[in-house]
Amino acid sequence: MSSVVVDTHIIIWDRLDPDRLSPKARKAFVQADTHHTIVICEISFWEIAMLIRKKRIVSNIPFMELMKGILDSRNYVLQGINPEIALLATELSMDTKDPADTLIVATSIVLGLPLISADQFMRQSTETRIIW
């Protein structure tokens, strides 16, 4: 296994605080980077912008510069919300009210890839494989 989908906080942690990644997550992340197959759900850009706006992420780097730095730092593949992902996201039984989380899990399932996440709700999912 080398391809993975990454949760929003994993993208941020890798760029701003890599020591927060678990050894297992870091290994999967680096392996996927080597094979050019780290999938970022485009909804993560919106989520990061909202976290910065709410001051839950504090960065001295302007948002657009931070996003460019993130995208240039690894071999990311961007994944939008297609009809299959949108439909599946409405059918998941996840115990979360966060639409971004639901779409990220749905993306993982539709692509048939494990998801790197420390999120407790996601880690309880039986619908996709979580790496942490």
Domain for residue 28, yes or no? yes
Domain for residue 132, yes or no? no
Write down the pLDDT at residue 1: 56
Write down the pLDDT at residue 60: 87
Backbone angles phi, psi at 59, to 5 degrees: -140, 140
Domain for residue 59, yes or no? yes
Write down the pLDDT at residue 59: 84
Domain for residue 22, yes or no? yes
Write down the pLDDT at residue 70: 93
Domain for residue 131, yes or no? no
What's the average pLDDT block by block, 10 residues per block, for the chain (132 residues)? 91 93 95 91 96 90 93 94 96 83 95 94 83 96
Outline where the chain has alpha helix (H). Answer: 8-16, 23-34, 43-53, 63-73, 83-91, 99-111, 120-123
Domain for residue 51, yes or no? yes
Q: What domain count does the chain have?
A: 1
Q: What is the CATH number of the domain that holds 104?
A: 3.40.50.1010
Neighbours of 63 (CB within 10 A): 14
Q: Which domain holds residue 23?
A: 4-125
Take residue 41 and report the two structure tokens written for it: 């759900």
Domain for residue 109, yes or no? yes
Take residue 126 and report the two structure tokens written for it: 């039986």
Write down the pLDDT at residue 93: 81
Q: For residues 131 and 118, what is the distance between their CA atoms, to the nearest angstrom?
A: 8
